[in-house]
A and B are shown apart, each in its own frame.
Chain A
Amino acid sequence: MRIFDPHVHMTSRTTDDYEAMAAAGVRAVVEPSFWLGQPRTSPGSFADYFDALIGWEPFRAGQFGIRHHATIALNPKEANDPRCREVLELVPRYLDKDAVVAVGEIGYDSMTPLEDLAFAAQLGLAVEFDLPALVHTPHRDKVRGTQRSLDVVKESGIDPGRVVIDHLNEVTVELVRDTGCWLGFSIYPDTKMSPPRMVELLRRHGTERMLVNSAADWGRSDPLLTRRTGEAMLAAGFTEDDVDRVLWRNPVEFYGQSGRLDLADADSPADFAGNSIKRGGA
């Protein structure tokens, strides 16, 4: 089972996690920039964080044979802190980087006017830099937050096929299924989504445009739940090809739209015909 975790915060994880992930079949990850638990108080600490996402963290991942890419943005929660507003001016510089495959996480936390501004501005950057966008949906008031996110996406003019609406559940999935956006599901030990519930959603909605991630971070979370979901799919009668589509080909297709996904040697199976972008072959 080859696994591409399209949303995992490896900065907060240990090398034990990398080792276990590699053993479980994780060969590639995307690490979205987000908040860190402890609020930041200046743009400088964002710059160092972004630098780590395109410098140190890929190096760490590489030691375990895992390809690491990132998404960069000012996240919605910290968009509310006036001390961090200048981060929006830092973001474009990072969107030029090879390993940055989307703008994200953007979206809503508390649906404030400042969040509106940051969300719309960064969707504009995604269009300008020709990158996909990763949209976080809020924990509180989730249905309205998801609906409003979809409205903002629509207004921005970005191709919905280049947007993933993340952290969906049984309730919000219905809002997104027919919009043309991709659907992201974060499998958590006991909150957002569990492997059996995910399997049920896949049974009901199919595997097209469905992305499964662990969203593992500094909180209680488990980077192996992608693997557990794949196993639950097989146990429920899905084929290995279905699992490969959800856990590998779908994220490759979505982030491959950036033109920057570098999976040379990571996607070795000969039958692979996805749209990874191999570069550097002369």
Chain B
Amino acid sequence: MNLRFGYGTNGFANHRLGDALAVLADLGYDGVALTLDHHHLDPYAPGLARRVSGLATRLMELGLSVVIETGARYLLDPRRKHAPTLLHDEREVRLDFLLRAVSIAADLGAEAVSCWSGVRPPAVDAQLAWDRLVDGCARLTEAASKAGVPVGFEPEPGMFVQDLAGWRTLHRALGMPRAFGLTLDIGHCRCLEPEPVADCVVSAAPWLVNVQIEDMRRGVHEHLEFGEGEIDFPPVLRALADAGYRGLVGVELPRHSHAAPDVARRSLTFLRAAAGQSGGTADRAPALGQRAPGQRRPAGAVPAPEVLRAALAAVDDGGWLDEALRRVAADPSVISRLFPAAARRCGRAEVLPGWTADEAARAVLLATLPAERAVVQARALYRHGDAAEKRAVLRALPLLPVGASAVELLHDAIRTNDTRLVAAALGPYAAHLDAAAWRQAVVKCVFMGIALACVDDLDHRADSELAAMLAGVADERHAAGRELPADAAALLARLKAEKGI
């Protein structure tokens, strides 16, 4: 798959622009989405031509492509975020800014200029707002067309034009000019589009000039790091590649500036891995769920071993893991001493969301075993493991060719009072637990104060029997003057409503 990944400079708000570019180039990004702002190529400060020319040279030296973003919060008005927009009375201020952006984009050789509608001011009625928007976009598109830089208009949740349907309407109102394209934010699709994310990509593809990407949850416009939301990325990236999209796919995490270099590193690792294994989880474990494309990803969905291995490339272990995998492949029995050493050798830093280096390395070691040895070794490593090793075995089970034969390990883990083990037992492999054992384990989580987010497939699997058990817990808690944890209370309320209890 031949996608080009970029990163938004609004996620590097605490870096000088030059430093941010160097960090991103070092990490291996192909480009940047440059948000013009008071501290990043201020279009209103003196010496603009010189600065633009210097930046163009720098981008070329670093081999970075660029798109221009215009979503700075307080560049035009220090008191009102994003104001004025094309919808305000003072819309000429916004238009002047957008035209400057177009000419900067042309000088930088940028691939697109991105913009949005803004939120409709309460004092401006919908018709007037629409007329202003169409007029502003028409003038912008004309300038962009002359400059040879396409406009990427971005639907933004909460704004006047907030979805693909709104973009299509606007596009038609403008006469469908070629220079008026679409900036598609993948997370926004998950947030509010009626179609699955990959389907949005397919339908938007012909007009796509810019793509922003991050994780997100349904109904919550919050840009999340990969793995923290609900999006299954491999099919989305596959859809972009299959559609022939050649622009940048830019990570958009404007609230992660405090940890920008780490977040950028993790994000690229994730995206490359997701682009490399675009078969999707359903291909690997069809027995565990018959989900429609784009349907909510399971809480504990397990990255393929190749993805974990790729993510571990960022860990400086002096070549230990490579050598360990080679040895295990040659002689499976040596895993018994390599498995406990993984944390000391690879560390415990997070390499993918929800996966620390030690757990990822242990999962990869297990996945390297020949199929006929996998279940025997998994049992032995669990039996003789410390709590971290046991947890790693439990989390790796869905990756191993063991069918349901290791389910006894889940029973053992659930018998303990160690929250780490109980939580790890309720990942995707818990699909092999029978309903009674699974319900008991879920209720045990409630008792132990374990967040129910660890329970894979909870929404699907929760039934009226579980509701009855939770109601029992709730009654006892109420009698003692205590409450259920919020997540359990919400689940119980939902089940009551759905099951008509």
Interface residues, chain A, CB within 8 Å of chain B? 54-56, 58-59, 93, 96-99, 259-260, 279-282
Q: Which residues of B contact A58 (CB under 8 A)?
A: 387
Cross-interface CB contact of A54 among B316, B349, B387, cutoff 8 Å: B387
Alpha-carbon gap, A259 to B343, bound state (A): 12
B15 at the interface (CB under 8 A from A): no
The chain A residue with its CB closest to the CB of B387 is A55
Closest partner residue, chain A, to B340 (CB atom): A96
**A59 and B420 form a contact (CB under 8 A):** yes
Partner among A59, A97, A279 whose Cβ is within 8 Å of the Cβ of B340: A97
Least CB distance from A65 to B in Å reads: 15
Q: Mark B326-351, 1 if CB is under 8 A from A, else 0.
A: 00000000001100110110011100
User: Which of A93, A99, A279, A282 makes the CB contact (< 8 A) with B384?
Assistant: A93
At the interface, yes or no: B92 with Cβ under 8 Å from chain A? no
Given contacts A59-B417, A98-B388, A280-B347, 6 further A-B contacts (CB under 8 A): A97-B386, A99-B386, A259-B344, A280-B348, A281-B347, A282-B347
With a cutoff of 8 Å between Cβ atoms, the chain A residues found around residue B419 in the complex are: 59
Q: Which residues from chain A contact B337 at a C-beta distance below 8 Å?
A: 96
The residues of B that contact A96 with a CB separation of less than 8 Å are 337, 340-341
Closest 3 CB pairs of A and B: A280-B348, A282-B349, A54-B386
In the bound complex, residues from chain B placing their C-beta under 8 Å from that of A59 are 387, 417-420
Q: Please judge, given known A-B contacts A54-B386, A59-B387, A282-B315, whether A98 and B343 are in contact too, CB under 8 Å.
A: yes
Complex interface: chain A residues within 8 A of B14 (CB): none
Q: How many residues of B contact A (CB 8 A)?
A: 25
> Could you list some 17 contacts between A and B, CB below 8 A?
A54-B386, A54-B387, A55-B418, A56-B416, A59-B387, A59-B417, A59-B418, A59-B419, A96-B340, A97-B386, A98-B340, A99-B386, A259-B344, A280-B356, A280-B357, A281-B347, A282-B347
Residue of A nearest to B416 (CB): A56
Residues in A with CB closer than 8 Å to B340 are 96-98
B416: chain A residues at CB < 8 Å are 56
Complex CA–CA separation, A260 to B344 (angstroms): 8
Residue numbers in A under 8 Å from B357 (CB-CB): 280
Question: How near does chain B come to A131, taking the closest CB pair, in angstroms?
Answer: 13
A279 touches B347 (CB 8 A): yes
Q: A55-B418, A56-B418, A98-B343 are in contact. Are A281 and B349 (CB under 8 A)?
A: yes
The residues in B between 6 and 47 inclusive whose CB is less than 8 angstroms from any CB of A are: none
Q: How far is the CA of A98 from the CA of B356 in the complex (A)?
A: 15
* C-alpha gap A231/B357 in the complex (Å): 42
Q: Does B390 contact A (CB under 8 A)?
A: yes
Q: How far is the CB of A47 from chain B (nearest CB, A)?
A: 8
A67 CB to nearest chain B CB (Å) = 14
- List CB contacts (< 8 Å) of B349-372 with chain A: 349, 356-358
The interface bits of chain B over 214-237 (1 if a CB of A lies within 8 angstroms of the residue's CB, else 0) are 000000000000000000000000
Contact A279 B344 (CB under 8 A): yes
A54 → chain B closest CB, angstroms: 4
Instruction: List chain B residues, Cβ under 8 A from A98.
Output: 340, 343-344, 386, 388
- How far, in angstroms, from A99 to B341 measured CA to CA in the complex? 11
CB distance from B268 to the nearest CB of A (A): 15
B230 to A: closest C-beta gap in Å: 27
Cβ of A226 to closest chain B Cβ, rounded Å: 26
Q: Is the CB of B386 within 8 A of A280?
A: no
B387 proximity list for chain A (CB < 8 A): 54-56, 58-59
Taking CB atoms, residues of chain A closer than 8 Å to B316 are 282
**Cβ of A54: which chain B residues have Cβ within 8 Å of it?**
386-387
Query: Of residues 289 to 326 in B, which have CB atoms within 8 Å of A's CB atoms?
Result: 314-316
Give the complex CA separation of A97 and B316 in angstroms.
21
User: Which chain A residues lie closer than 8 Å to B390 at the CB level?
Assistant: 55
A281–B315 Cα distance when bound, in Å, is 10
Question: Of residues A54, A279, A282, which shows the largest number of chain B Cβ atoms within 10 Å of its Cβ?
Answer: A282
B479 CB to nearest chain A CB (Å): 25
On chain A, the residues within 8 Å of B315 by CB distance are 282
Known: A98-B343, A279-B344, A282-B315. A55 touches B386 (CB 8 A): yes
**Residues of A contacting B386 in the complex (Cβ-Cβ under 8 angstroms):** 54-55, 97-99
Q: Which residues of B in the span 370-389 have a Cβ within 8 Å of any Cβ on A? A: 384, 386-388
B302 to chain A, nearest CB (A): 21
Q: How far is the CB of A35 from chain B (nearest CB, A)?
A: 22
The residue that B343 contacts in the complex, of A55, A280, A281, A282, with Cβ under 8 A, is: A280
CB nearest to B419 among chain A residues? A59
Q: How many angstroms between the C-alpha atoms of A152 and B349 in the bound complex? A: 42
CA distance A97 to B386 in the complex (A): 7
In the complex, how many angstroms separate the beta carbon of A98 from the nearest chain B beta carbon? Answer: 5
Residues of A within 8 A of B388 (CB): 98
* Cα distance, A56 to B417, chains bound together (Å): 8
CB neighbours (8 Å) of A279 from chain B are 343-344, 347-348
